């Protein structure tokens, strides 16, 4: 194998491992990334319409509708008809949705701490420098 393939494989492996992190025993399963993206978006905007969510996330409206239905079933969001135009349905976070975001942030911070503690200060600096170099090379468009 050449060096470039090794780097790519390592990046993919790290990415998969971070996404598939095991939940501590007794903890509920972490919601899918699509759900978390919508929760964060609704937290930032308080209320939105499903079409605006799809546009903001750059995904098909049908995909968002399916995810929103599951989120409503799980009591993460509320759907309410607009008082001035009954054709418009506004989305907002429920208390359970807000709690899910808080739990996710706590878990993320715990994971961040674990990862940072697994490396020395020098290793962290090197990893960050290499990561930033790759991001610049690949053209970060976020």
What is the reported pLDDT for 2? 54
Residue 15 domain flag: no
Please, is 95 exposed, middle or buried when counting C-beta atoms within 10 Å of its C-beta (0-12, 13-18, 19+)? exposed
Does 14 map to a domain?
no
Q: Does a structural domain hold residue 13? A: no
Instruction: Compute the distance between CA of residue 88 and CA of residue 13 in angstroms, rounded to an integer.
Output: 43
Residue 9 within any structural domain of the chain: no
Per the CB < 8 A criterion, the answer to whether 72 and 30 are in contact is: no
99 belongs to a structural domain: yes
**pLDDT of 41 higher than 90:** yes
Sequence-ordered alpha helix ranges (H) in the chain: 3-19, 33-45, 50-57, 61-73, 95-118, 121-138
Number of domains in the chain: 1
* Alpha-carbon span 126 to 63, nearest angstrom: 39
More reliable by pLDDT, 25 or 135: 135
Residue 59 φ/ψ region, left for φ over 0, alpha for ψ in the -120 to 50 degree band, beta for the rest = beta
Work out the number of other CB atoms within 10 angstroms of the CB of residue 73.
Answer: 9
Residue 71 within any structural domain of the chain: yes
Give CA–CA dist 49/25, Å, rounded: 36
In degrees, rounded to 5, the angle at the alpha carbon of residue 132 between the alpha carbons of residues 126 and 135 is 140
Structure tokens at 61: 């409206």
Give pTM, 2 decimals: 0.72
Residue 85's pLDDT is: 85
Write the CATH number for 97.
1.10.10.10
- Close Cβ partners of 21 (under 8 Å, ≥ 6 residues apart): 30, 111
Question: pLDDT (tens digit, 9 = 90+) per residue, 53-110?
Answer: 999 999 998 889 999 999 999 999 999 998 888 888 899 999 999 999 999 999 889 8
> Residue 58 falls within a domain, yes or no?
yes
The answer to whether residue 21 sits within a structural domain is: no
Residue-number span of the structural domain to which 70 is assigned: 28-138
């Amino acid at each position: 194998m050449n060096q470039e393939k090794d780097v790519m494989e390592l990046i993919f492996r790290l990415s998969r491992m971070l996404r598939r992190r095991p939940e501590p025993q007794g903890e509920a399963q972490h919601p899918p990334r699509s759900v978390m993206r919508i929760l964060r978006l609704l937290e930032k905007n308080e209320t939105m319409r499903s079409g605006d969510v799809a546009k903001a996330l750059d995904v098909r409206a049908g995909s968002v509708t399916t995810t929103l239905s599951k989120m409503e079933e799980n009591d993460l969001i509320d759907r309410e008809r607009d008082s001035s135009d009954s054709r418009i349905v506004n989305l907002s976070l429920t208390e359970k949705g807000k709690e899910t975001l808080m739990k996710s942030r706590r878990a993320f911070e715990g994971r961040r701490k674990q990862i940072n503690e697994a490396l020395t200060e020098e290793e962290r600096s090197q990893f960050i420098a290499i990561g930033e170099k790759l991001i610049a090379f690949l053209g970060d468009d976020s």
